[in-house]
Structure 1
Amino acid sequence: MQRVTITIDDDLLAAVDQLCERRGYESRSEAMRDIVRDALAPAKAALSTDATCYGALSYVYSHGTRDLARRLTDEGHHHGVSIASMHVHLTHDDCLEVAVLRGSAAAMQSYADSVITQRGVRYGHLQLIPEGARQPAAPRRQPLPESG
């Protein structure tokens, strides 16, 4: 096992500590390993196929970061998977963007990575949805027998 050092702000560390307490982790290391596994598992599963799918990329960014809005727009045009988006002003400084995507899982993951890793983007999450994914049909209810 390797030892790594990370730097995170106080609020995020407090959140990790709360997660440890709530879930019963004996150490921060155990929690961080699970967090990393959880982050990697969906991408690994989705990248195992070239099938077309849909996705939703949500991210929060600081609109005051120099040139960030232009870079984000350029990334959307470069990757060609974004089919619609919604922009919301959360605070004076923060914006939420939600992009609806369509394409291969690999192309969408590449686009998401290029957005989420930009300086000034503080949160990002890609949700992948396989094309044709459907909820299972609800079971049909049998009529109640008539009481006599």
Structure 2
Amino acid sequence: MQRITITIDDDLLAGVDQLCEQRGYGSRSEAVRDIVRSALAPTRAAEAGSAPCYGALSYVYSHGTRDLARRLTDEGHHHGVSVASMHVHLTRDDCLEVAVLRGSVSAMQTYADTVTTQRGVRYGHLHLIPEGDARHTGHDHQHGDGAAN
């Protein structure tokens, strides 16, 4: 790991400190690493070409839109990038769907475009995660058994 020195104005530093406090970072360095990693993730994923990446597609849709739920399910099976999904009823009419994806960036983007352009779908967002970044985040995470990974 390399040590660097950066110069930022007081307002940005206050924002970094606030982020550290809100999210529980142990240091400014951990926060800055996550900020840079998040900023680089889309570029790294796009540069991966046909290499497998991960993604999370989230969207809100109206379940009352004619045949929309069926069409969305069909798209998930057709594109072959969906690994798992979670469905939440937000209101009487709106549902939130989060799909975990794995595949090439182009395949995941095609799937995301097909889903989010359906009539009745709102707030669609595809978050791309390069495969290497999913394995090497630079800090430990606690899981249910208490073991650090």
Quote how far apart the aligned CAs of 1:137 are. 4.9
Distance 1:86 1:95 in 2: 10
Amino acid in the other structure paired with 1:80 = G
Map 1:128-139 → 2, pairs under 5 A: 128-133=128-133, 134-137=136-139
- TM-score, normalised via structure 1 length: 0.61
Q: Which residue in the other structure is 1:107 paired with?
A: 107
Distance 2:66 2:119 in 1: 9
Q: Which residue in the other structure is 1:86 paired with?
A: 86
SS at 2:115 equivalent: helix
- TM-score, normalised via structure 2 length: 0.61
Amino acid in the other structure paired with 1:54 = Y
Quote how far apart the aligned CAs of 1:54 are. 0.5
Quote how far apart the aligned CAs of 1:135 are. 1.7
CA-to-aligned-CA distance 1:101-138 (integer Å, 9 cap, x gap): 00101100000000000000011000010112122258
If you compute each CA radius of gyration, which structure gives the higher value, 1 or 2? 1
Contact 2:41 2:129 in 1 (8 A): no
Distance 1:43 1:111 in 2: 17
Distance 1:111 1:137 in 2: 31
Amino acid in the other structure paired with 1:136 = G
For structure 1, the residue ranges without an aligned partner over 5 or more in a row are: 1-40, 139-148
Distance 2:76 2:94 in 1: 19
Q: Which residue in the other structure is 2:66 paired with?
A: 66
Q: Does 1:51 align with 2:51?
A: yes
Q: Which residue in the other structure is 2:95 paired with?
A: 95
Amino acid in the other structure paired with 2:104 = S
Q: Which residue in the other structure is 2:37 paired with?
A: none
CA RMSD of aligned residues (A): 2.0
Q: Which residue in the other structure is 1:122 paired with?
A: 122
For structure 2, the residue ranges without an aligned partner over 5 or more in a row are: 1-39, 141-149
